[in-house]
Amino acid sequence: MPMFNKVSVALVFGALISSMSAAFATDIKIATIAPNQSTWMIDMRAAGKTIKERTDGRVNLKFYGGGIQGASPKVLQKIKIGQLHGGMFAPIDFIKTYRDVSLYGLPFAFESWDEMRYVREQMDADLAAGFERHNFVTFGFVGSFAMILSNQPVRNQSDLRGKKVWLPEGDLISFEALKALNLSPVSLPVTDVLTGLQTGLLDMAAIPPEVAVALQWHTRVRYFTDMPLLYAMSFLAIDKRTLNKLSANDQAVLTEVLSETFARMDARMSFESLDATEALVDIGIQKIDPDDGMLDDLLASMSETNRDMAKKGIFSLALFETMQSHISDYRNGDPQAGVRVLSEN
Protein backbone atom coordinates (compact mmCIF):
# COMPACT_ATOMS: atom_id res chain seq x y z
CA MET A 1 0.00 0.00 0.00
CA PRO A 2 1.42 3.43 -0.88
CA MET A 3 2.71 5.31 2.13
CA PHE A 4 0.18 8.15 1.77
CA ASN A 5 -2.64 5.59 1.77
CA LYS A 6 -1.34 4.05 5.00
CA VAL A 7 -1.21 7.47 6.60
CA SER A 8 -4.70 8.28 5.37
CA VAL A 9 -6.08 5.02 6.73
CA ALA A 10 -4.43 5.68 10.09
CA LEU A 11 -5.86 9.18 10.28
CA VAL A 12 -9.34 8.02 9.32
CA PHE A 13 -9.17 5.16 11.84
CA GLY A 14 -8.02 7.53 14.57
CA ALA A 15 -10.80 9.98 13.78
CA LEU A 16 -13.32 7.15 13.81
CA ILE A 17 -12.17 5.93 17.22
CA SER A 18 -12.28 9.50 18.56
CA SER A 19 -15.78 10.10 17.27
CA MET A 20 -16.96 6.77 18.67
CA SER A 21 -15.56 7.68 22.10
CA ALA A 22 -17.35 11.03 21.94
CA ALA A 23 -20.57 9.35 20.89
CA PHE A 24 -20.45 7.05 23.93
CA ALA A 25 -19.30 9.74 26.37
CA THR A 26 -21.41 10.29 29.48
CA ASP A 27 -22.04 13.90 30.46
CA ILE A 28 -22.57 14.34 34.20
CA LYS A 29 -24.24 17.70 34.79
CA ILE A 30 -23.59 19.19 38.22
CA ALA A 31 -25.11 22.37 39.68
CA THR A 32 -23.98 24.58 42.55
CA ILE A 33 -24.54 28.05 43.97
CA ALA A 34 -20.76 28.47 44.25
CA PRO A 35 -19.54 31.41 42.14
CA ASN A 36 -17.80 30.40 38.93
CA GLN A 37 -14.47 31.87 40.04
CA SER A 38 -14.60 30.35 43.52
CA THR A 39 -11.93 27.96 44.76
CA TRP A 40 -14.52 25.17 44.78
CA MET A 41 -15.32 25.61 41.10
CA ILE A 42 -11.65 25.83 40.18
CA ASP A 43 -10.92 22.60 42.07
CA MET A 44 -13.90 20.76 40.65
CA ARG A 45 -13.17 21.77 37.07
CA ALA A 46 -9.60 20.55 37.53
CA ALA A 47 -10.96 17.24 38.84
CA GLY A 48 -13.32 17.03 35.87
CA LYS A 49 -10.42 17.57 33.48
CA THR A 50 -8.44 14.78 35.14
CA ILE A 51 -11.41 12.41 34.99
CA LYS A 52 -11.98 13.17 31.31
CA GLU A 53 -8.32 12.53 30.51
CA ARG A 54 -8.09 9.30 32.50
CA THR A 55 -11.28 7.91 30.96
CA ASP A 56 -10.24 8.89 27.43
CA GLY A 57 -13.18 11.26 27.18
CA ARG A 58 -15.82 8.74 28.23
CA VAL A 59 -16.78 10.72 31.36
CA ASN A 60 -17.33 14.45 31.09
CA LEU A 61 -18.27 16.53 34.16
CA LYS A 62 -20.17 19.71 33.27
CA PHE A 63 -20.52 22.30 36.02
CA TYR A 64 -23.20 24.97 36.32
CA GLY A 65 -22.09 27.52 38.91
CA GLY A 66 -23.53 30.67 40.39
CA GLY A 67 -26.95 29.14 41.04
CA ILE A 68 -28.02 29.35 37.39
CA GLN A 69 -29.85 26.02 37.73
CA GLY A 70 -31.87 27.33 40.68
CA ALA A 71 -31.86 26.72 44.41
CA SER A 72 -31.27 23.26 45.84
CA PRO A 73 -34.93 22.10 45.76
CA LYS A 74 -35.05 22.93 42.06
CA VAL A 75 -31.74 21.14 41.49
CA LEU A 76 -32.98 18.02 43.27
CA GLN A 77 -36.13 18.07 41.17
CA LYS A 78 -34.06 18.35 37.99
CA ILE A 79 -31.94 15.41 39.14
CA LYS A 80 -35.09 13.38 39.74
CA ILE A 81 -36.25 13.88 36.15
CA GLY A 82 -32.79 13.53 34.63
CA GLN A 83 -32.10 17.12 33.57
CA LEU A 84 -29.21 17.24 36.04
CA HIS A 85 -27.20 14.43 37.59
CA GLY A 86 -25.69 15.93 40.71
CA GLY A 87 -25.13 19.01 42.79
CA MET A 88 -23.26 20.60 45.64
CA PHE A 89 -25.52 20.43 48.66
CA ALA A 90 -25.76 21.17 52.37
CA PRO A 91 -27.44 18.85 54.91
CA ILE A 92 -30.55 21.05 54.97
CA ASP A 93 -31.20 20.11 51.35
CA PHE A 94 -31.91 16.53 52.47
CA ILE A 95 -33.95 17.43 55.55
CA LYS A 96 -37.05 15.64 54.20
CA THR A 97 -35.32 12.43 53.19
CA TYR A 98 -32.12 12.04 55.20
CA ARG A 99 -32.13 14.05 58.42
CA ASP A 100 -29.26 12.18 60.04
CA VAL A 101 -26.76 13.97 57.82
CA SER A 102 -27.58 17.12 59.83
CA LEU A 103 -25.97 15.70 62.99
CA TYR A 104 -22.61 17.39 62.48
CA GLY A 105 -24.34 20.74 62.09
CA LEU A 106 -26.15 20.74 65.43
CA PRO A 107 -25.52 24.08 67.16
CA PHE A 108 -22.66 24.05 69.66
CA ALA A 109 -22.01 20.35 69.21
CA PHE A 110 -18.23 20.77 68.82
CA GLU A 111 -15.65 22.83 70.68
CA SER A 112 -12.79 22.71 68.20
CA TRP A 113 -11.50 21.61 64.81
CA ASP A 114 -9.61 18.68 66.34
CA GLU A 115 -12.68 17.43 68.17
CA MET A 116 -14.77 17.65 65.02
CA ARG A 117 -12.11 15.83 62.98
CA TYR A 118 -11.97 13.01 65.51
CA VAL A 119 -15.74 12.50 65.41
CA ARG A 120 -15.77 12.62 61.62
CA GLU A 121 -13.11 9.92 61.46
CA GLN A 122 -15.51 7.67 63.34
CA MET A 123 -18.76 8.57 61.58
CA ASP A 124 -18.22 9.85 58.03
CA ALA A 125 -18.48 6.39 56.50
CA ASP A 126 -21.84 5.75 58.15
CA LEU A 127 -23.30 9.05 56.98
CA ALA A 128 -22.03 8.41 53.45
CA ALA A 129 -23.67 4.98 53.50
CA GLY A 130 -26.97 6.68 54.27
CA PHE A 131 -26.76 8.57 50.98
CA GLU A 132 -26.27 5.28 49.15
CA ARG A 133 -29.55 4.07 50.62
CA HIS A 134 -31.18 7.18 49.16
CA ASN A 135 -29.67 6.54 45.71
CA PHE A 136 -26.94 9.16 45.88
CA VAL A 137 -23.18 8.78 45.99
CA THR A 138 -20.98 11.25 47.86
CA PHE A 139 -17.21 11.67 47.81
CA GLY A 140 -16.45 13.21 51.16
CA PHE A 141 -17.59 16.17 53.21
CA VAL A 142 -16.09 19.66 53.28
CA GLY A 143 -16.87 21.83 56.25
CA SER A 144 -16.00 24.80 58.39
CA PHE A 145 -17.29 26.42 61.55
CA ALA A 146 -19.94 29.08 61.19
CA MET A 147 -19.73 32.20 63.30
CA ILE A 148 -22.18 34.97 64.06
CA LEU A 149 -22.08 37.97 61.73
CA SER A 150 -24.13 40.88 63.03
CA ASN A 151 -24.76 44.60 63.08
CA GLN A 152 -24.66 44.74 66.87
CA PRO A 153 -21.95 43.10 68.99
CA VAL A 154 -22.84 39.68 70.43
CA ARG A 155 -20.89 38.88 73.61
CA ASN A 156 -23.36 36.87 75.65
CA GLN A 157 -26.74 35.18 75.54
CA SER A 158 -28.54 38.41 76.43
CA ASP A 159 -27.21 39.95 73.23
CA LEU A 160 -28.91 37.17 71.27
CA ARG A 161 -32.36 37.56 72.80
CA GLY A 162 -35.00 38.59 70.29
CA LYS A 163 -32.58 39.19 67.43
CA LYS A 164 -33.76 38.37 63.91
CA VAL A 165 -31.50 35.66 62.56
CA TRP A 166 -31.40 33.94 59.20
CA LEU A 167 -32.98 30.50 59.05
CA PRO A 168 -32.39 28.42 55.90
CA GLU A 169 -35.69 27.50 54.29
CA GLY A 170 -37.17 24.31 55.69
CA ASP A 171 -34.48 23.86 58.36
CA LEU A 172 -36.50 22.36 61.22
CA ILE A 173 -33.40 21.51 63.25
CA SER A 174 -32.02 25.05 63.22
CA PHE A 175 -35.50 26.42 63.93
CA GLU A 176 -35.72 24.40 67.16
CA ALA A 177 -32.22 25.44 68.17
CA LEU A 178 -32.72 29.13 67.45
CA LYS A 179 -35.97 29.22 69.40
CA ALA A 180 -34.18 27.64 72.35
CA LEU A 181 -31.68 30.50 72.20
CA ASN A 182 -34.54 33.05 72.29
CA LEU A 183 -33.77 34.21 68.76
CA SER A 184 -36.36 35.15 66.14
CA PRO A 185 -35.74 32.99 63.06
CA VAL A 186 -36.45 34.54 59.65
CA SER A 187 -36.70 31.92 56.91
CA LEU A 188 -35.07 33.00 53.64
CA PRO A 189 -33.36 31.35 50.69
CA VAL A 190 -29.60 31.83 50.78
CA THR A 191 -29.84 34.14 47.76
CA ASP A 192 -31.90 36.67 49.80
CA VAL A 193 -29.70 36.88 52.90
CA LEU A 194 -27.51 39.71 51.60
CA THR A 195 -30.59 41.85 50.96
CA GLY A 196 -32.03 40.85 54.34
CA LEU A 197 -28.93 42.10 56.14
CA GLN A 198 -28.94 45.29 54.09
CA THR A 199 -32.59 46.16 54.72
CA GLY A 200 -32.75 45.23 58.40
CA LEU A 201 -34.95 42.21 57.83
CA LEU A 202 -32.10 40.31 59.51
CA ASP A 203 -29.99 41.37 62.48
CA MET A 204 -27.51 38.56 62.10
CA ALA A 205 -26.58 35.43 60.21
CA ALA A 206 -24.39 32.43 60.96
CA ILE A 207 -21.99 31.30 58.26
CA PRO A 208 -18.33 30.30 57.89
CA PRO A 209 -16.19 33.39 57.31
CA GLU A 210 -14.80 32.16 53.98
CA VAL A 211 -18.34 31.63 52.68
CA ALA A 212 -19.39 35.06 53.95
CA VAL A 213 -16.59 36.62 51.93
CA ALA A 214 -17.42 34.59 48.81
CA LEU A 215 -21.10 35.58 49.01
CA GLN A 216 -20.30 39.19 49.98
CA TRP A 217 -22.32 39.01 53.21
CA HIS A 218 -19.47 40.71 55.04
CA THR A 219 -20.32 43.93 53.19
CA ARG A 220 -23.55 44.25 55.19
CA VAL A 221 -22.36 43.58 58.77
CA ARG A 222 -20.11 45.33 61.25
CA TYR A 223 -19.20 42.59 63.74
CA PHE A 224 -18.40 38.90 64.00
CA THR A 225 -18.25 36.85 67.19
CA ASP A 226 -15.19 34.61 67.41
CA MET A 227 -16.93 31.45 68.58
CA PRO A 228 -17.68 28.11 66.81
CA LEU A 229 -21.46 28.26 66.48
CA LEU A 230 -21.98 25.18 64.34
CA TYR A 231 -20.16 23.02 61.84
CA ALA A 232 -21.44 23.86 58.37
CA MET A 233 -20.57 21.35 55.69
CA SER A 234 -21.27 20.71 52.05
CA PHE A 235 -20.84 17.77 49.73
CA LEU A 236 -21.17 16.67 46.14
CA ALA A 237 -23.96 14.15 45.59
CA ILE A 238 -24.42 12.38 42.26
CA ASP A 239 -27.40 10.25 41.28
CA LYS A 240 -26.51 6.54 41.44
CA ARG A 241 -28.46 5.90 38.23
CA THR A 242 -26.00 8.06 36.33
CA LEU A 243 -22.93 6.42 37.85
CA ASN A 244 -24.33 2.96 37.17
CA LYS A 245 -24.19 3.75 33.45
CA LEU A 246 -20.40 3.97 33.65
CA SER A 247 -18.08 1.01 33.39
CA ALA A 248 -16.58 -0.27 36.63
CA ASN A 249 -13.19 1.17 35.67
CA ASP A 250 -14.62 4.59 34.86
CA GLN A 251 -16.60 4.61 38.12
CA ALA A 252 -13.40 3.80 39.99
CA VAL A 253 -11.53 6.66 38.31
CA LEU A 254 -14.31 9.15 39.05
CA THR A 255 -14.57 8.04 42.68
CA GLU A 256 -10.81 8.16 43.19
CA VAL A 257 -10.34 11.61 41.68
CA LEU A 258 -13.35 13.22 43.37
CA SER A 259 -12.57 11.64 46.76
CA GLU A 260 -8.98 12.88 46.61
CA THR A 261 -10.18 16.34 45.56
CA PHE A 262 -12.63 16.59 48.45
CA ALA A 263 -10.04 15.32 50.93
CA ARG A 264 -7.64 18.08 49.83
CA MET A 265 -10.35 20.73 50.02
CA ASP A 266 -11.42 19.60 53.48
CA ALA A 267 -7.85 19.49 54.77
CA ARG A 268 -7.30 23.15 53.99
CA MET A 269 -10.60 24.45 55.39
CA SER A 270 -9.23 25.43 58.80
CA PHE A 271 -6.51 27.50 57.11
CA GLU A 272 -8.97 29.15 54.74
CA SER A 273 -11.25 29.93 57.68
CA LEU A 274 -8.40 31.60 59.56
CA ASP A 275 -7.38 33.56 56.46
CA ALA A 276 -10.97 34.72 55.93
CA THR A 277 -11.29 35.75 59.58
CA GLU A 278 -8.14 37.84 59.29
CA ALA A 279 -9.47 39.33 56.06
CA LEU A 280 -12.66 40.40 57.85
CA VAL A 281 -10.59 42.24 60.45
CA ASP A 282 -8.43 43.84 57.77
CA ILE A 283 -11.45 45.34 56.01
CA GLY A 284 -12.86 46.77 59.23
CA ILE A 285 -15.26 44.13 60.55
CA GLN A 286 -14.83 44.18 64.32
CA LYS A 287 -13.96 40.92 66.05
CA ILE A 288 -15.97 40.30 69.24
CA ASP A 289 -14.72 37.88 71.89
CA PRO A 290 -17.53 36.16 73.81
CA ASP A 291 -17.80 36.74 77.54
CA ASP A 292 -16.11 34.18 79.78
CA GLY A 293 -18.31 31.15 80.22
CA MET A 294 -20.62 31.92 77.30
CA LEU A 295 -19.41 29.03 75.16
CA ASP A 296 -19.54 26.56 78.06
CA ASP A 297 -23.08 27.64 78.92
CA LEU A 298 -24.22 27.29 75.31
CA LEU A 299 -22.56 23.89 74.93
CA ALA A 300 -24.41 22.62 77.99
CA SER A 301 -27.82 24.10 77.17
CA MET A 302 -27.78 23.16 73.50
CA SER A 303 -26.72 19.62 74.31
CA GLU A 304 -30.08 19.15 76.02
CA THR A 305 -31.95 20.87 73.18
CA ASN A 306 -30.21 18.64 70.64
CA ARG A 307 -31.04 15.54 72.68
CA ASP A 308 -34.69 16.60 72.89
CA MET A 309 -34.82 16.88 69.10
CA ALA A 310 -33.42 13.37 68.80
CA LYS A 311 -36.03 12.07 71.24
CA LYS A 312 -38.74 13.66 69.09
CA GLY A 313 -37.46 11.67 66.12
CA ILE A 314 -36.15 14.66 64.18
CA PHE A 315 -33.01 12.58 63.66
CA SER A 316 -31.72 9.24 64.94
CA LEU A 317 -31.39 9.14 68.72
CA ALA A 318 -29.02 6.17 68.47
CA LEU A 319 -26.73 7.97 66.05
CA PHE A 320 -26.87 11.14 68.16
CA GLU A 321 -25.86 9.15 71.24
CA THR A 322 -23.00 7.61 69.26
CA MET A 323 -21.76 11.06 68.28
CA GLN A 324 -22.02 12.27 71.87
CA SER A 325 -20.06 9.21 73.00
CA HIS A 326 -17.24 10.02 70.58
CA ILE A 327 -17.25 13.65 71.73
CA SER A 328 -17.07 12.51 75.35
CA ASP A 329 -14.20 10.15 74.56
CA TYR A 330 -12.28 12.97 72.93
CA ARG A 331 -12.88 15.44 75.75
CA ASN A 332 -11.89 12.88 78.36
CA GLY A 333 -8.62 12.22 76.56
CA ASP A 334 -9.53 8.60 75.86
CA PRO A 335 -10.62 8.44 72.21
CA GLN A 336 -11.90 4.99 71.34
CA ALA A 337 -13.53 3.73 68.17
CA GLY A 338 -16.73 3.11 70.06
CA VAL A 339 -19.78 1.27 68.82
CA ARG A 340 -20.77 2.14 65.26
CA VAL A 341 -24.49 2.71 64.78
CA LEU A 342 -25.75 2.99 61.22
CA SER A 343 -28.12 5.77 60.32
CA GLU A 344 -31.73 4.72 60.64
CA ASN A 345 -32.86 6.97 57.76
pLDDT of residue 336: 55
Query: What single-letter amino acid sits at 230?
Result: L
CA atoms lying within 13 Å on the CB side of residue 225: 25
pLDDT of residue 21: 45
pTM score: 0.84
Cα distance between residue 56 and residue 54, in whole Å = 6
CA atoms lying within 13 Å on the CB side of residue 78: 20
Q: Where are the domains of the chain?
A: 3-331
- Note the pLDDT tens digit of each residue in 186-238: 999 888 999 999 999 999 999 999 989 888 899 999 999 999 999 999 999 99
Q: Which residues contact 288 (CB under 8 A, 6 or more apart)?
A: 153, 154, 155, 223, 224, 225, 226
In the predicted model, residues of the chain with pLDDT beneath 50 are 4, 7, 9-22, 335, 337-342
pLDDT of residue 299: 84
pLDDT of residue 244: 96
CATH fold of 3-331 reads D-Maltodextrin-Binding Protein; domain 2 (3.40.190)
DSSP codes, 85-146: -EEEE-GGGGTTT-GGGGGGGSTT--SSHHHHHHHHHHHHHHHHHHHHHTTEEEEEEEEEEE
Pairing assessment for the beta strands 136-150 and 59-64 based on DSSP bridges? unpaired
Contact (CB, 8 A) for 330 and 317: no
pLDDT of residue 270: 92
DSSP class of residue 208 equals -
- Note the pLDDT tens digit of each residue in 115-146: 999 999 999 999 999 999 999 999 999 999 99
The residue among 26, 24, 44 whose CA lies nearest residue 36 is 44
